[in-house]
Structure 1
Amino acid sequence: MQTVILGAQGKLGGVLHRHARRAGLGWLGQGRREGVDLLWSPDCAPRAEVFPAGGTVINMIGRASPDEKALRHANIELTRQILHHATAHGVAHVVLASSAAVYGNAADGPVAETATLSPLIPYGHSKAEMEAVAADYAQRPDSPALTILRIGNVAGSDALTAIARQRCTTGEPMDLHRFPDGAAPVRSYIGPRDLFDVVTAVAQTPPASSRILNVAAPTPVDLEAVMTAYQTHFLPDLRWQDTPVPNGVPKQVILSTQALERLIHLPSGPDYAAKMALQVKQDLAP
């Protein structure tokens, strides 16, 4: 059955679309500009090709800006519309991109999908409300199967990578936050290829009704290791300087991946930062 990526011209949708093309999966990418398979705007009437009967729709449309009106439209109202169109057209499975931002700082060890949501920023609040919309929809007898992905940091699509590339252009060093004991922050990350493999596995194994999955590699990484791997593998001009960590920044933000690991085996181990950097280098290649 057909699989469609909504938002294939965005950061994460673009990652999925590029890898799906390279893998020859035949997935279709939707966008608003030339360069995708399906030109369509969610503000227009739905098209059957965008919502294939019996198929899978992967919704990567979203906003992360501080504009609360834009967040509500892109992350909540469009999700509501997409679920309505998917149901009307007989889509079998809808995959929704949420975010680890729904957990807030999540600083007390690996946080599981059952944790209480405590978002701290408008983006996290909008994703939590989007999940509530999906949960309500899942109660309907005609609802497609639903998978919500709480995605952590995606290497290559995150703020760290954007700043690193920009600083290599300007020649300025990046700031690397350090705690009083000398440690750098530790975060859950996932490489772009691994993200694609996760979404592929999710698309191929829909739930009976609905499910929520944290999306990250099993091994968290510290940010110094990420910068070192970037410098080694694709940003040789990257430099950084140590700065005290700002107040309120948690030492660790780690997602539990036990549920995800029952679905797919992902690379792990102390060298994951290097593996991740190589995936970014490949993904950014022309």
Structure 2
Amino acid sequence: MGASGRVGSLLLQHWRSAPPIIPLRTQSRGERFDLKWSPIIDGPDPLCRFADRQGGLSGIIALSGATPSTRGNLSETALLADAVLSAAVKAGVPRVLFTSSSAVYALGENLSESDEPAPTSDYGQAKVDMESVVAQSAGTTLDACCLRIGNVAGADALLGRKSNTPVLLDRFPDGHGPRRSYIGPIQLAKVLERLMLHPARLPLVLNVAAEPPVRMSDLLQAAGLPWEWVPAPEERLKTQSITLDCTGLAKITGKASLAASPASMIAELRKLGALA
């Protein structure tokens, strides 16, 4: 689901050249995809009919939903999750992976799934509300997991921008810039495949990012993009390092599956033609 979005488009570019073991079908509210479906408006019937035609669906990767960059209606985030859950149950879909976000957390390092959500933005709060809806499915036959994904290389404002003007990067008192938990789109696609094929029930929430975290300046350097330092304003001093602890994910997908570097992430984007 959400095949037309920024992350979905990058994942599809990879999967079209390296199809996953399970046959992949795409959904969007627009044309050009296998299923045209608006869950909130259309209800579960289109998914049920589509599942019947496909001989059943083994799972759903729900990438759809409003983001700050799309200026969508964040208040629909929880409603959309509820509509997808209801449709999945009715269509007999056993597993749904929902894309949540690291934005559910407060600012900090090594943030883990055991930390209480404390979002600092409306987007983060919308994802918390979505997770609350998904939590209501716990204990049912449906296996639903919310993936608290970090920054996806190529889909964020750092590497996904089209302007040739230099990126302005905050420089903090220690001389370094922002440090974040990133993951490349091809690596993310492989993680999603492993999660969809995992034989046991998944946790309700999972952090998703590559390891170790990377400096944004290193990504820009690896990409050969123009950028400049600017002094970090005092109100952003606490934002220098925002990183995820992905121990839980590593136990499921294997620690080696999460290993990455700025160079490997940039190589993924170049392979997909998403970076000159």
Please report the TM-score for the alignment, with normalisation by the length of structure 2.
0.88
Q: Which residue matches 2:182?
A: 189
SS class of match (1:161):
coil
In structure 2, the CA distance between the partners of 1:206 and 1:104, relative to structure 1 (3 Å rule), is farther
Q: Shift of residue 220 of structure 1?
A: 0.6
Q: How does 1:126-145 map to 2 (within 5 A)?
A: 126-139=126-139, 141=140, 143-145=141-143
In structure 2, the CA distance between the partners of 1:210 and 1:285, relative to structure 1 (3 Å rule), is closer
Give, in whole Å, the separation in 2 of the partners of 1:12 and 1:30. 14
Letter in 1 for 2:170: H
Contact 1:146–1:211, Cα closer than 8 Å, also in 2: yes
Q: Which residue matches 1:220?
A: 213
In structure 2, the CA distance between the partners of 1:243 and 1:131, relative to structure 1 (3 Å rule), is same
Letter in 2 for 1:239: P
Letter in 2 for 1:85: A
Give, in whole Å, the separation in 2 of the partners of 1:181 and 1:225. 16
Give, in whole Å, the separation in 1 of the partners of 2:113 and 2:66. 22
Give, in whole Å, the separation in 1 of the partners of 2:203 and 2:258. 26
Q: Shift of residue 51 of structure 1?
A: 4.8
Aligned length, in residue pairs: 263
Q: Shift of residue 10 of structure 1?
A: 0.8
Aligned match for 2:263, one of 274, 280, 283 = 274
SS class of match (1:129):
helix
Q: Which residue matches 2:118?
A: 118
Q: Which residue matches 2:233?
A: 246
Give, in whole Å, the separation in 2 of the partners of 1:135 and 1:211. 7
Contact 1:138–1:209, Cα closer than 8 Å, also in 2: no
Aligned match for 2:146, one of 145, 148, 165 = 148
Aligned match for 2:15, one of 1, 7, 20 = 20
Contact 2:59–2:95, Cα closer than 8 Å, also in 1: yes
Aligned match for 1:62, one of 65, 77, 93 = 65
Q: Shift of residue 210 of structure 1?
A: 4.2
Structure 1 stretches lacking a partner, 5+ long: 1-5, 232-237
Contact 2:131–2:146, Cα closer than 8 Å, also in 1: yes
Give, in whole Å, the separation in 2 of the partners of 1:95 and 1:50. 19
In structure 2, the CA distance between the partners of 1:49 and 1:196, relative to structure 1 (3 Å rule), is farther
Q: Which residue matches 1:234?
A: none
Deviation readout 1:149-192 (Å, 9 max, x if unpaired): 000000000111133x31x2xxx322121112211111100001
Deviation readout 1:49-69 (Å, 9 max, x if unpaired): 555645201111111139998
Contact 1:104–1:124, Cα closer than 8 Å, also in 2: no
Q: Shift of residue 208 of structure 1?
A: 2.5
Give, in whole Å, the separation in 2 of the partners of 1:196 and 1:69. 24
Q: Which residue matches 1:157?
A: 155
SS class of match (2:137):
helix
Contact 2:135–2:204, Cα closer than 8 Å, also in 1: no
Give, in whole Å, the separation in 2 of the partners of 1:284 and 1:68. 26
Q: Which residue matches 1:88?
A: 90
Moved more, 255-264 or 59-68: 59-68
Give, in whole Å, the separation in 2 of the partners of 1:87 and 1:195. 26
Of all paired residues, the percent bearing the same amino acid is 32
Aligned match for 2:33, one of 33, 36, 49 = 36
Letter in 2 for 1:31: S
In structure 2, the CA distance between the partners of 1:240 and 1:210, relative to structure 1 (3 Å rule), is closer
Please report the TM-score for the alignment, with normalisation by the length of structure 1.
0.85
Q: Shift of residue 15 of structure 1?
A: 2.5
Give the RMSD, CA atoms, in angstroms. 2.2
